[in-house]
C-alpha cells in the first residue's frame, strides 16, 4: 500500500486546509466556524488514503507479471499476499471510502462530492488493464487523481464559505477568488509534477512494461524522448509558478523578501530535478530523478503555503 505515499497524501490535505484555506478565510474579518469539524475532515483524509491504497493494490494486482521483471524484490501480490486477498482489500477500501464520503455529505447536506471517490476508484481500476496501454493516457489519469487531493481537502470548506460567509466578508468575492487561486495553484503544481514523475517511473520500468504490452511513452517513443518531454513539462511548471508568484508580489513592494524565499523553494529544487533528468539514461538514474522530483513537490507545497500565509494572495 506504500505507506510513505499515503502519509504524503494526508500531509498534503492537512497543509491545504489548516495552513492555507482556513487561515486565509480568517483574515476576512468575520470569524468563520467550519461546519466540517476535525472529525469530518479526518474522514475525508481517510477517504483519500483508502482510495490511494486501493489504487496501489489494484496496480500491483494487474502488474504482477511485469513487476517480476521491473522490481522482483518488491513483488508482494502473489507472493506474500494472495491475489484474491488483494482484490478483496481493494474492493473493501473503495466501498469504505464511498461510505465515509456519503456520511460526510449527509452531515453537510452537500452531495455532489460523492462523485469524486467513485470516479477516482473507477479510473484507477482501469489504469493498468486499459489506460496504461494508451500512450500518455495512463500518466494523465494518475496525475489527475493526485491533483484532486488538495481540492478534496478544501471542497466542503469552500462550499460553506460561498453559502454562509462570502456576503458577510468585506470584498468577499475577491477573497474567494484568492482562495480558489491558491488551491488551484496547489492542484496544478501537483498535476504537472506527477505527470513528470509518472513518465520517469515508466522509463525506470520500460523493460517489464514492454513485455506487458504497455504503450507508455518510454516504450513507444524511447528514453531520449521521455527525457525531453519531462524537461519540457518541468519548464512549463517553473515558468508558470514564477509568473503566478510575481504577479501578486509586484503589488506589494514590502513583500519581495517573501518572493525570494518562495523562488528558492521552487526554483532550486526544480533546477536540481531538471539537471537530474538531463542525465538520465539508466534505470538507476531515472529512479534518482524520480526521488529528486518528490523533494521538488514538497518544496513547491511549502512555497504555496508561504505565499498564502504571507498575504501575497
Q: How far apart are CA 101 and CA 270, in angstroms?
A: 35
Higher pLDDT: 297 or 99? It is: 99
Is 312's pLDDT higher than 50? no
Within 13 Å and on the Cβ side, how many CA atoms surround 77?
A: 22
Q: How far apart are CA 274 and CA 267, in angstroms?
A: 10
Mean pLDDT, residues 212-227 taken together: 87
Q: How far apart are CA 172 and CA 98, in angstroms?
A: 33
Give pLDDT tens digits for 110-133: 999 999 999 999 999 888 778 888
Confidence band for 176, pLDDT divided at 50, 70 and 90: confident
pTM of the model: 0.87
Give pLDDT tens digits for 250-286: 555 546 666 677 778 888 888 889 999 998 888 888 8
Q: How far apart are CA 88 and CA 126, in angstroms?
A: 16
Q: What is the pLDDT of residue 31?
A: 64
Q: With CA atoms as reference, report the closest residue to 28 among 166, 160, 154, 169.
A: 169
Q: With CA atoms as reference, report the closest residue to 303 among 234, 236, 242.
A: 242
Amino acid at each position: 500500500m506504500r505507506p510513505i505515499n499515503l502519509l504524503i497524501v494526508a500531509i498534503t490535505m492537512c497543509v491545504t486546509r489548516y495552513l492555507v484555506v482556513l487561515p486565509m478565510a480568517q483574515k476576512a474579518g468575520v470569524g468563520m466556524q467550519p461546519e466540517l469539524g476535525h472529525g469530518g475532515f479526518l474522514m475525508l483524509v481517510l477517504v483519500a488514503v483508502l482510495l490511494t491504497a486501493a489504487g496501489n493494490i489494484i496496480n500491483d494486482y494487474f502488474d504482477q507479471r511485469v513487476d517480476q521483471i521491473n522490481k522482483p524484490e518488491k513483488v508482494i501480490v502473489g507472493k506474500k499476499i494472495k491475489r484474491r486477498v488483494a482484490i478483496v482489500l481493494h474492493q473493501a477500501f473503495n466501498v469504505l471510502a464511498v461510505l465515509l464520503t456519503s456520511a460526510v455529505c449527509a452531515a453537510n447536506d452537500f452531495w455532489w462530492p460523492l462523485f469524486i471517490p467513485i470516479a477516482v476508484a473507477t479510473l484507477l481500476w482501469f489504469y493498468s488493464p486499459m489506460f496504461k496501454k494508451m500512450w500518455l493516457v495512463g500518466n494523465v489519469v494518475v496525475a489527475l487523481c493526485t491533483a484532486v487531493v488538495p481540492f478534496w481537502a478544501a471542497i466542503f470548506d469552500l462550499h460553506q464559505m460561498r453559502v454562509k460567509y462570502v456576503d458577510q466578508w468585506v470584498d468577499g468575492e475577491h477573497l474567494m477568488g484568492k482562495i480558489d487561486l491558491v488551491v488551484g495553484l496547489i492542484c496544478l503544481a501537483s498535476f504537472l509534477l506527477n505527470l513528470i514523475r509518472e513518465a520517469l517511473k515508466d522509463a525506470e520500468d520500460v523493460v517489464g512494461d514492454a513485455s506487458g504490452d504497455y504503450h507508455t511513452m518510454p516504450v513507444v517513443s524511447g528514453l531520449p524522448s521521455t527525457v525531453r518531454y519531462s524537461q519540457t513539462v518541468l519548464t512549463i511548471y517553473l515558468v508558470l509558478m514564477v509568473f503566478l508568484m510575481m504577479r501578486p508580489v509586484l503589488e506589494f513592494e514590502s513583500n519581495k523578501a517573501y518572493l525570494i524565499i518562495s523562488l528558492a523553494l521552487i526554483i532550486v529544487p526544480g533546477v536540481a530535478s531538471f539537471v537530474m533528468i538531463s542525465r538520465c539514461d539508466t534505470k538507476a538514474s531515472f529512479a534518482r530523478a524520480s526521488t529528486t522530483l518528490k523533494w521538488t513537490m514538497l518544496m513547491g507545497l511549502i512555497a504555496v503555503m508561504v505565499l498564502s500565509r504571507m498575504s501575497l494572495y
